Chain A
Amino acid sequence: MTDANRVPSPMDRVWDFFTSVKLAIVTLIVIAVASIFGTVVEQNQPPEKYHQVYEDWAVALMDRINLFDMYHAWWFLLLLVLFTVNLTCCTLDRFPKVLKIVRNPRTKLDENLEKTLSLADRWKRKGALADWSAKYVEGLSSAFAKPRVTEEGGEVHLYAETGVASRFGVYVTHLSIIIIFLGAILGNLLGFKGYVNIPEGESVSQVPVRGGARVQDLGFTVLCNSFRVETYPSGQPKAYISDLSILEGGREVLRKKDVVVNDPLQYKGIWFYQSSYGQAGGARARLTVARPDGTPAGTLSLPPGEPVKIEGYGIVRGMNYDQNHEGHGPALQVAVEKPGQPQATFWLFQGRGDLDRLRKDSLSFSFEGLNAKLYTGLQVAKDPGVNIVWVGCALMVIGIIMAFFLSHQRVWVRLAQGQDGRVEVVLAGSASRNRLAFEKKFERIQTGVKAVGQ
């Protein structure tokens, strides 16, 4: 603040600039308008894509002003800095004044104050000043709030207020924005975001970080036990489900069998979010093995074309898959090599283990179906600032409610001995917001107070 009779120094002018609400309005609108560009121009796409959409000169120009990653461009961040500085300065400028008003309220209704209050009523009563002041203390208490009483120079002043907290709503809201920014900065500095595909049965202990060549060490291992998709009867996807384990030193320390979208896995501050899936490599054939008497002897999982050894028997290889072999349904062609014998190839019809027993071998196989090996795609995130952001968000809602739904309402009563021996009474009030509603409330207070002792 500058005195009226002093020429403002350059420093004052800078301060006035940064503490002005007009700057806040302009900054808010400029950020809003600037933000539109990034929603029209798709962000962070490969250059080829931009060249398909725009002329070369336009791409060059847009690239120059960082329009392809505009929310991280220096000029956009500068706008946010300006916004924050403005917010901080406004708060530093006004908060002490508000604190002063709240701590040292004007408890006396002097003439200067009276002139500024549009809601006022004046009347006279016969009787003693002390009697009437006692009556009006009670009247104001029941019509509004319990007043403080100040006696000075033969006058009695009553002062009552409600909703003081509303004065702080603005500052709680402003502070909350700064807290959110701090949380966001902290998360950017100390956290990471990555994405990883893990095929079923495989594990990772490192994750490629998004938007960079860096790889993040997790400090533990994530194993994908399995992945599956559930569908509604209509065929629409119902759930994408990953069964994940956390391993430390080769030992399982945590397992979550149903990591789904909207229900992530968390370990040591690192979160894994179900995000995508796909086919990992070729499909595997599932076989059950039985002895000639029909007793089960285990299962086999055959990758395409690769030999799988069975101790004391030989080598089994999955050769071909036919969805409808010779019109008898799905079948798998397998090749069996036994030591010292020529390779034998034959077809196994799905679910018909009884047919293979006719081969009269020491082991018979039953083809149970193909297992497509899938991978799960996981978003991986560590954000140590996120809880600070939530604190900021909670404060923001509280601050806004305080600011808009509370009103600092003040009511004064002044009693003085008049020339004619009667007691002159002045009742006045003001509200920090929602004055229209307060006018109605003031009328009720007026009626309530005036009725006392009548």
Chain B
Amino acid sequence: MSNVILFNLTTVLFGVASALYLGALYAKNEKIAGFGTWACVLAAFVSTAALGLRWYESYQMGIGRIPVTNLYESLVFFAWAVNLFYLVVERKYGSRTFGAFVMPIAFFTMLFAIKNDSSIQPLVPALQSYWLHAHVITCFVGYAAFAVSAGAAVMYLMKARQEEAKISEGVTGLLPACRTLDDLVYRSIIWGFPFLTAGIITGAAWANYAWGTYWSWDPKETWSLIVWLVYAAFLHARITRGWHGKRAAVLSIVGFLATIMCYLGVNLVLSGLHSYGGS
């Protein structure tokens, strides 16, 4: 199917972008990173076209539905969102160094996606709901924001260590100032948090409409709550003396690890109501 070809091309572009950003960092050459941005922009167009085409192809097959209903689709959608979120951040902060820490996340997500079944399957009865759209989109925009935040948090910890040691050489020398990184960690989360909240709420509303229970402590639900609690802790840590800076950055990374667990771990390791990783 042609959408899969476009997604494969997207994967290559993400790989190229990651390599260029990392290369730019090590070669200390801003120009190389500029090419990385172009790869990202191109990937944004290609992946958006791929999503649209996949949606269209599902209608061609007579089972038209939004392309966010199984593991493959959710992974490519997540990578799509990470890339877009990253491009906005790059533009807003005027720094391309983030790319080296964020784009590999999109690249590895696509690599993982390719290993999964990419065929378009019809929707099982449980997924036939308008809540599906709102639930999946809000969740994944939230996840993408958390991915960017975690990337920035890693940079923050590297930079903070370097600032403490008062060295300005090496790769970390090119990283933006701690203050900027801390700001990005925080600002990504304040975008991700309302989306995650909306994702949990739309999930609860959907569960209530499908099963008559808005909360049943299913592992997926519980892990989404864990993610929410970690970021809630982060947001409170930011305003508490002795908890901002490094500890907040660590919480951002822990939050993203919990997000990965919620997204993939629950399906691959635990049992529950969300079917897409079950096979």
Q: Which residues of A contact B (CB under 8 A)?
A: 21-22, 24-25, 28-29, 31-32, 35-36, 38-40, 42-43, 71, 184, 193, 232, 234, 236-240, 260-262, 264, 271, 273-275, 379-381, 383, 386, 389-390, 393, 396-397, 400-401, 404-405, 434, 436
Contact = CB atoms under 8 A, between A and B. Distances in A.
Q: Which applies to chain B's interface (DSSP): helix, strand, loop or mixed?
A: helix
Contacts, number: 117
Interface in B182-211: 183, 187, 190, 193-194, 197-198, 201, 204-206, 208-211
A239 B122 contact: no
Nearest to B262: A39
Contacts of B217: 38, 43, 71
Contacts of A21: 236, 239-240
Given A21-B239, A35-B226, A39-B219, A397 B201 contact: yes
**Across chains A and B, which 3 residue pairs bring their CB atoms closest together, nearest first?**
A381-B212, A32-B229, A39-B219
Given A25-B243, A386-B208, A236 B194 contact: no
Given A232-B122, A379-B212, A393-B204, A39 B236 contact: no
B233 interface: yes
Contacts of B110: none
A28 B236 CA distance: 10
Interface of B: 63, 121-122, 124-126, 128-129, 131, 179-180, 183, 187, 190, 193-194, 197-198, 201, 204-206, 208-215, 217, 219, 222-223, 225-226, 229-230, 232-233, 236-237, 239-240, 243, 258, 266, 270-271
B240 A273 contact: no
A100 B241 CA distance: 24
Contacts of A264: 209, 212
A42 B218 CA distance: 9
A401 B194 contact: yes
B194 A42 contact: no
Contact of B213 (A31, A234, A381, A400): A381
B213 A39 contact: no
A38 B221 CA distance: 11
Contacts of A393: 201, 204-205
Given A32-B258, A236-B124, A238-B122, 19 more contacts: A21-B239, A25-B240, A29-B230, A29-B233, A32-B233, A35-B222, A36-B226, A38-B222, A39-B270, A42-B271, A71-B217, A260-B128, A264-B212, A383-B208, A389-B204, A396-B201, A397-B198, A401-B194, A404-B193
A42 B193 CA distance: 28
Contact of A262 (B125, B183, B198, B271): B125
22 contacts: A25-B236, A25-B237, A25-B243, A29-B233, A35-B225, A193-B213, A236-B121, A236-B124, A237-B125, A238-B125, A260-B125, A262-B125, A262-B128, A262-B129, A262-B131, A262-B210, A379-B211, A379-B212, A379-B213, A404-B190, A405-B190, A436-B183
A22 B212 contact: no
Contact of B229 (A28, A38, A184, A396): A28
Contacts of B201: 393, 396-397
Nearest to A42: B271
A86 B98 CA distance: 37
Contact of B210 (A29, A32, A273, A380): A273
> Of residues A71, A234, A404, which shows the largest number of chain B Cβ atoms within 10 Å of its Cβ?
A404
Contacts of A275: 211
Given A22-B243, A262-B126, A273 B270 contact: no
Nearest to B196: A400
A193 B212 CA distance: 8
Contacts of B190: 404-405
Nearest to A434: B187
Given A28-B236, A271-B212, A39 B223 contact: yes
A397 B197 contact: yes
Contacts of B63: 232
Contacts of A24: 233, 236
A386 B193 contact: no
A396 B197 contact: yes
A401 B191 CA distance: 9
B125 A273 contact: no
Nearest to A241: B125
A436 B226 CA distance: 30
Contacts of B125: 237-240, 260-262, 274
A345 to B, nearest CB: 43
Contacts of A240: 125
Contacts of B131: 262
A401 B195 CA distance: 10
Contacts of A380: 212
Given A28-B229, A273-B210, A234 B194 contact: no
A68 B128 CA distance: 32
B58 to A, nearest CB: 12
Nearest to A271: B212
A239 B215 CA distance: 24
A383 B216 CA distance: 14
A273 B213 CA distance: 10
Given A32-B229, A262-B209, A39 B222 contact: yes
Contacts of A29: 229-230, 233
A322 to B, nearest CB: 34
A71 B216 CA distance: 10
A238 B126 CA distance: 9
Contacts of B187: 434
A272 to B, nearest CB: 8
Nearest to A270: B212
B128 A261 contact: yes
Contacts of B215: 184
A40 B211 CA distance: 23
Given A396-B201, A400-B194, A237 B124 contact: yes
B107 to A, nearest CB: 29
Contacts of A71: 217, 222
Contacts of B210: 261-262, 273
Nearest to B232: A28
A386 B180 CA distance: 43
A57 B147 CA distance: 41
A379 B226 CA distance: 27
A25 B232 CA distance: 8
B95 to A, nearest CB: 14
